[in-house]
Structure 1
Amino acid sequence: MPQPLLFGIVALLGLAVGSFLNVVIHRVPRGESLVRPGSHCPRCDSEIRHRHNVPVFGWLLLRGRCADCRAPISVRYPLVEAGTAALFVAVTARFGLSWTLPAYLYLAAIAIALALIDLDVMRLPNAIVLPSYLVAVVLLAPVALLGDGPAPILRGLAAAVLLWAFYRLLAHFGGMGGGDVKLAPLLGFYLGWLGWGPVAVGAFAAFLLGGAVGATLMATRLAGRKSRIPFGPAMLAGAFLAVFAAAPITDWYASLLTPTA
């Protein structure tokens, strides 16, 4: 399949998934059904018309306001849709049209949902994290059985255990929340599938990004030393930094350790 066509199809898929993720982000923390009722305005309860449900374009058509009560619709809705499409295209560029691709597209989708939910309510819902373990195994295990061999999945399992132990230790001393501990092995499995370099980069980047955000918030007085800052977004951002750039990062670090003549 020509690459532009593949990217176009994946972008459309990403827009559709992003529209669904908006529902997930809003309803899952509230314990609401993802199916019923249909999409509606949270202010006047009017059902959203089909033409207004088209990702991104529906929001633009409505000029960011409900068609019935004119209540403002957050710009986050089209940003989630467009952001999901962009991340889907980036993941596709990374893995190509391969059997591995669906697993990492799924990871991209839940990463967006989990990051925004954690920012909203400071929680990583079990309803998303726990089923994702099964999805990861179902999507990646056949890849190992059909060609890559057992090494990637065994390495992924080892990385999952390693990150779980590390985060569990931090949680014991009050440095991590329970949701972070549950998410860590899932990210470890995905990164371990790719290699030990991505595991190291993803784990380190999470703390680097989380520390940078925390320092910035304190410097701007938007948070204090005792403020709770969600760490899930940093974990997920670090994981995707590793997915896309682990090789050049590890090569650069290795060059620093290699003495020059």
Structure 2
Amino acid sequence: MAPLLLLTAILGLAVGSFLNVVIYRVPRGESLVRPGSHCPSCGDAVRPRHNVPVLGWLALRGKCATCKEPISARYPLVEAGTALLFVAITARFGFSPELPAYLYLASIAVALALIDLDVQRLPDAIVLPSYLVGLVLLAPAVIASGDWGQAVRAIAAMAALWLFYKLLTVVHPRGMGRGDVKLAGVLGLYLGWLGWDALLVGAFAAFLIGGLAGAALLASRRANGKTAVPFGPYMLIGAFLAIFAAGPLAGWYLSLLPSV
């Protein structure tokens, strides 16, 4: 397991470096390929040795090599955070057919959460292809296990969570964005693969965490009743909470209910 964890940590650093490009360029409608990595202040190309995840930022002491403008600490944090999330996912699933699918989910989760925080939008360019990618990446697990019931449950959960969020937009149009509805289907697919308990825990946790965060913002006067708060990050946090701890959380909740 240790070599696999090390390998996925290195992969996570590389993916995190690419996600920094995605987070910056996708909301702006820019190409992910051209131009190459460059300083947004002076436009000078980033040298290959400075493109090494985390270490490049440390070597530059957080400043552009040419114009000396500060480089946000978020860049190395995204790289290191993605690596840690990759390691956690690998520890959860091990060397299994599901691993690539959940590593992909971790990748888009990092990008979508930060984009939503930045511009309050969940880009279709990331969310919509994730339906097909998720189905394709989970297909080897279905073939390996022969459990087609699990696949049916995942697709049913995908539809159910999408429909639930869609109904919320009908009941309270200003409370939920269309991007949240589209993301709900993707998360439903991955949570449904793990079980109905994971789906319920992930859905409930999103609203619980979002509600607590909203209350904290109101109490600290950093927001008011009219402030738009992105919900995508809470959906993603709830989903990963369910991925790692749906069983214990569901058991704990059931233990609180009065016995009949």
TM (norm. structure 2) is 0.97
* Cα distance, 1:258 vs structure 2: 5.5
Give the residue type in structure 2 aligned to 1:130.
Answer: L
Which residue in 2 is equivalent to 1:169? Answer: 167
Distance in 2 of aligned mates of 1:141 and 1:4: 26
Aligned counterpart, 1:195: 195
AA matched with 2:110: I
1:87-126 deviation per Cα after TM superposition (whole angstroms, max 9, x unaligned): 0000000000111000000000000000000000000000
Give the distance between the partners of 2:193 and 2:57, measured in 1 at CA.
38
Q: Could you list the runs of 5+ residues in structure 2 that have no partner in the other structure?
A: none
Q: Please state how far the C-alpha of 1:143 moved relative to its aligned partner.
A: 1.5
Higher mean alpha-carbon deviation, 141-150 vs 228-237, is at: 141-150
What's the offset of the Cα at 1:23? 0.1
Which position in structure 1 is the counterpart of 2:181?
181
Shift, 1:256, TM fit:
1.9
In 1, distance between residues paired with 2:81 and 2:140? 29
For the 8 Å contact 2:12–2:83, the answer to whether it is kept is yes
Q: Which residue of 1 aligns with 2:214?
A: 214
Is 1:118 the counterpart of 2:116? The answer is: yes
The whole-number CA distance in structure 2 between the counterparts of 1:258 and 1:224 is 37
| Aligned equivalents of 1:81, 1:176: Cα separation in 2 | 30
- CA deviations on 1:153-199 (whole Å, 9 max, x unpaired) are 11011111111111011111212100001000110010000000000
Q: CA RMSD in A?
A: 1.0
> Partner letter of residue 162 of structure 1?
A
Partner SS, residue 70 of structure 1? coil
**1:209-259 superposed Cα distances (whole Å, 9 cap, x missing partner):** 111111111111111001000000000000000000001001111222263
Residue 93 of structure 1 corresponds to which residue in structure 2? 91
Question: Percentage identity across aligned positions?
Answer: 66
1:250 aligned partner: 250
CA distance in structure 2 between the partners assigned to 1:179 and 1:78 by the alignment: 27
| Corresponding residue of 1:204 | 204
- For the residue of structure 1 that corresponds to 2:63, the secondary structure is coil
Partner of 2:224: 224
CA distance in 2, matches of 1:254, 1:212: 22
Structure 1 runs of 4+ off > 4 angstroms? Answer: none
User: Measured at CA, do residues 193 and 57 of structure 1 come closer, stay the same or move farther in structure 2, by a change above 3 Å?
Assistant: same
Aligned to 1:35: 33
Which residue type is aligned with residue 201 of structure 1?
Answer: V
Alignment deviations for residues 43-65 of structure 1 (CA, whole Å, 9 cap, x no partner): 10000000000000000000000
Number of residues of Structure 1 aligned to a counterpart in Structure 2? 258
Which 5+ residue runs of structure 1 have no aligned equivalent?
A: none
